[in-house]
Structures are given as C-alpha cells and as structure tokens.
C-alpha cells in the first residue's frame, strides 16, 4: 500500500511509498524543509507538526530521545518520521520568512491608519 502526504499551508499532496520519510516526501513535492545535518537527526531543524490521526510508522528510539516529549504534542523530525498511510503535515514557516511577513503586515496596518 502506498502512502499519501498532504502538506500545509500549501495544501499540496503527494503519493509516496510506505517508509518514505516526511523530509523526502516534502522534497519530492518541491516544498522546502530546513535542515543542517542532512537527515541524521542531529540538527533539530526539520521539525514539523503532524495532525492527529496521521498514519506514521512507530517512532524510533533515536527520534524519541531527540524530541524528549515533543512527540506528545504531535511534533516529529521530518527526517526520521516515516509514512505508513495517510499523513497530514504542517510545515512551520521559515523564521526569516515569518519575520518578513510580520513586518509587511505591520506596514500594511500602518498604511491603513493613514487613510
Ligand atoms: S534534518 Fe537534522 S534533525 Fe532532521
């Protein structure tokens, strides 16, 4: 059986083989997830939020140790979490992009105040 991963906020879905990591699925969908360690569960930068009910393979001991409890909040390392069926993932905004969007929103509010 194949898996299917839907990524938010883009809403893009991609079919993948079971066992594919969420990081690989995102790359195949042309959706960037920041990494520094190349998928070795060392940098902690590839965190994503997985919606409840998503079908992932059981979490590995290495990932569980790295997350130290965050997995209970549905946070997973995309380089370690492997697809088992249908999965819905929220990719956090890149911090730089989030800062730019906040600044643009502030400027838009200031411009509205001028009218
Ligand atoms: S890519 Fe570094 S922890 Fe996942």
Residue % of the chain over a pLDDT of 90 = 77
Instruction: Please tell me the residue having the least CA distance from ligand 1 atom 1.
Output: 39
Please work out whether the CB of residue 63 comes within 6 Å of at least one atom of ligand 1.
no
Q: Is 114 a residue whose pLDDT tops 80?
A: no
> May I ask the CATH class of domain 2-114?
alpha beta
Say what the pLDDT of residue 1 is: 66
Say what the pLDDT of residue 96 is: 80
Say what the pLDDT of residue 9 is: 93
Contact (Cβ atoms closer than 8 angstroms) between residue 66 and residue 97: no
Side-chain half-sphere of 58: how many Cα atoms within 13 Å?
2
Residue 80 exposed, middle or buried by CB count within 10 Å (0-12, 13-18, 19+): buried
State in Å: Cα 47 to ligand 1 middle: 8
Structure tokens at 11: 């809403």
User: Which stretches of 34-73 are DSSP H helices?
Assistant: 61-67
Report which of residues 95 and 16 the model is more confident about: 16
Instruction: Please tell me the residue having the least CA distance from ligand 1 atom 2.
Output: 43
Report which of residues 113 and 89 the model is more confident about: 89
State in Å: Cα 60 to ligand 1 middle: 14
Show me where the domains of the chain are located.
Answer: 2-114
């Amino acid at each position: 059986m194949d898996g299917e991963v839907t990524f938010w906020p883009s809403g893009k879905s991609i079919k993948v083989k079971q066992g594919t990591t969420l990081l690989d699925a995102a790359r195949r969908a042309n959706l960037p997830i920041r990494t520094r360690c190349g998928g070795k569960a060392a940098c902690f930068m590839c965190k994503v939020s997985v919606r409840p009910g998503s079908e992932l393979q059981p979490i590995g001991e290495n990932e569980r140790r790295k997350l130290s409890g965050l997995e209970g909040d549905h946070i997973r390392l995309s380089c370690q979490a492997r697809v088992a069926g249908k999965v819905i993932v929220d990719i956090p905004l890149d911090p730089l992009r989030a800062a730019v969007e906040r600044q643009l929103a502030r400027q838009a509010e200031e411009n509205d105040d001028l009218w």
